[in-house]
Amino acid sequence: MANFHLQIVTQQHTVFDRDVTSLTMPGEEGSFGVWANHRPIIAVLKEGPIDIRIGSNTDRYQITGGFFEMEGNKATLLVDSIDGMTLESEDD
């Protein structure tokens, strides 16, 4: 299955930076998902859960709002804060 690259950036850290299969997130007018080769999109997100799917694995995290941008299979998720993410966190 085709993958796309996802980067999740909070104000202080890049918390996620790898290829994923799909991403579901809470848009202002309801939850929506994107897969690889989605058309360019910029979306405003509200508070709620995001589901990151890699292969057949799905992980759920909570965000408190942010933006999603995707263009040419490169996606960026800018969030105010994200819960349950332990990856690559580089706190001192």
Binding site for other proteins (CB under 8 A): 7, 9-14, 27-29, 32, 39-44, 67, 69, 71, 76, 78, 92
Instruction: Select 52 or 77, whichever has its Cβ closest to other proteins.
Output: 77
Residues 6+ apart with CB under 8 A from 42: 67, 68, 69
Smallest gap from Cβ 5 to other proteins, in A, equals: 13
Smallest gap from Cβ 78 to other proteins, in A, equals: 6
Q: How far apart are the first and last CA of the chain?
A: 37
* Angstrom distance (rounded) from CA 9 to CA 51: 16
What one-letter code names the amino acid at 61? Y
Instruction: Select 44 or 55, whichever has its Cβ closest to other proteins.
Output: 44
Smallest gap from Cβ 18 to other proteins, in A, equals: 15
